Structure formats: C-alpha cells, structure tokens
Amino acid sequence: MKESINIAVTGKGGTGKSTISTLIIKALYETKKKIILAIDADPNYNLDVKLGLETKRTIGDMREELRKSGDENPGGMSKSQFVEYQLKILIEEGDKFDLLTMGRQEGTGCYCYINNVLRHLIDTLSANYPYIVIDNDAGMEHLSRRTDQHMDFLIIASDATKVGLMTAARIRDMALEMELVHGNVILVVNNAPSPFPEFLDTLVKELSFDNVYIIPYDAEVFDRNARGLSLLDVPRDSSANTMVGCIVKEHLL
C-alpha cells in the first residue's frame, strides 16, 4: 500500500496548533499541487473555520449512532459497510484539501469493535493522499489509538512561556517513548515577542530540541482568527506564513 507522509501537530491548548496546521496545509497544497487530507483530531474542533469550511458531522457523531444501533444493522447494511459509506459523507471535500473531523471522544460503553473498523478504514482512506496533516489536542495517547499509522513528523507548538516549553518537552519525550514518531520532532514557539527573550532561548537550548522555529506575533493571523475567518488568504509575506513556509521547505517536502 502506498504510504502517505503523516504530519501531526500537537501542544497545549491555545498555542496555535490549528493555526500552524492550516498554514502547513496551505503551504503543502501550494507547493505540491496535490490534495492534502486534513484530520481535525482535537475534540474541541475548529480547524474547519480556519480552512473556510463548516463541519456538519463528525466521526464521534457516527460512532455514537452506531453504538446506539446495538446489534441491528443500520440501514440494512453491515456495520463495516455503513462506516465506509458514512466516512465518504463525513469528509468535507475541497479542491485543494479534504477535511475529516473526529469530534468528541467515546463515552462510556464498548467502542472497541467500532474503533477497529474505523481505524482500518481511515488507514485505507489515508493511503490515497500524499500528505496527511493531523491537528491534535495535547494527548498523545489518543493519537496512538486512533490510527495504526506512524507519524513522520511531529510538530509541537508552545507559547513563549516556561510552562509551555516544559509541556512541549514532556510531549516529545512521551511520543518518543511510545515510538509514535519515526521522523523529526519540531518545536514551534508561537506568538513570541521579538526580540525573543534570552532566558527562554537558554531554556529551549537546555531542553535539546533538534529543530526549533520561532513564529512572532502576526497581526494578520490574529485579525482573521479573532473574526472567525479562514486563514487561507493570509498574505504570503506575513510572519507566520513565512515561518511555516520555512518549516515545510526545510523538513516536509
């Protein structure tokens, strides 16, 4: 089976994961001219807004429906046929990227069978795309359960604080320990003041990240996010766009 390149973006809340994911997707489709698969795996999803789409239904909604149907076959189809059919409907299709929204995690009850079917189908579907960009929450455990796929790149977003950077280092260590990443781990300190404070620079070095990028505060990004607008038309030379462009060019192509 053809392997796609998987890029996961993670980090604590509000550090810019969805913003960075969106700008990566944009840089990838502009360079590769191929359709990218975006997966919003944050239960608090909003990647759709940043990509200028509207999610109507999530994998979580479908999973819940399937669980409620118990042993009955929904719509006269087998569960696996039903999931396959539903997945096609769930994907928001654009001409430059497709979006799959995971929605909320499972509640109490047994989801093992459904999750196995889902994992298999997402892996099969994923093979059709050259790149998959996954916008996550900070919980790496969910990531490992969600698909069998390895991650080629892990991008960890942090704000310009000691707590943020320590969290980023913890996420990196957990991901490496669980052998979730095969390729590079990249730290992105986002929304940072310029010049970058020296004590934070020292801390970043002490935490020994292999690859570090600093994205300054970007007024264009802030304005669009504040208004709930798509980020796809952020000017090419805006600081966030330029920096994400460098990450893509130097690591992801």
Residues forming contacts to Mg ion in the complex (CB under 5 A) are 17-18, 42
Q: How far is the CB of 43 from Mg ion (least distance, A)?
A: 10
Partner touching 86 among ligand ADP, Mg ion, none, CB below 5 to 8 Å by kind: none
Using CB under 6 A, which of 4, 7, 8, 16 touches ligand ADP?
A: 16
Orientation angle between helical segments 17-32 and 239-247, nearest 10 degrees: 60
Amino acid at 176: L
Nearer to ligand ADP, 18 or 147 (CB): 18
In Å, what is the CA distance from 179 to each residue of 172, 192, 222, 229?
10, 30, 35, 36
Strand order across the beta sheet in which 131-135 lies: 92-93, 97-101, 36-40, 131-135, 5-11, 153-158, 185-192, 211-216
Q: Is 67 exposed, middle or buried (0-12, 13-18, 19+ CB in 10 A)?
A: middle
* 222 near ligand ADP (CB under 6 A): yes
Question: Does the protein bind ligand ADP through residue 15 (CB under 6 A)?
Answer: yes
Residue 136 binding: pick among Mg ion, ligand ADP, none (C-beta 5-8 Å cut-off by kind) = none
Query: Does the footprint of ligand ADP cover residue 158 (CB under 6 A)?
Result: no
Nearer to ligand ADP among residue 25 and residue 117 (C-beta): 25
Nearest residue to 238 (alpha-carbon basis) of 217, 211, 253: 217
**Which of 192/252 has CB closer to ligand ADP?**
192
Question: Shortest distance, CB of residue 218 to ligand ADP, whole angstroms?
Answer: 4
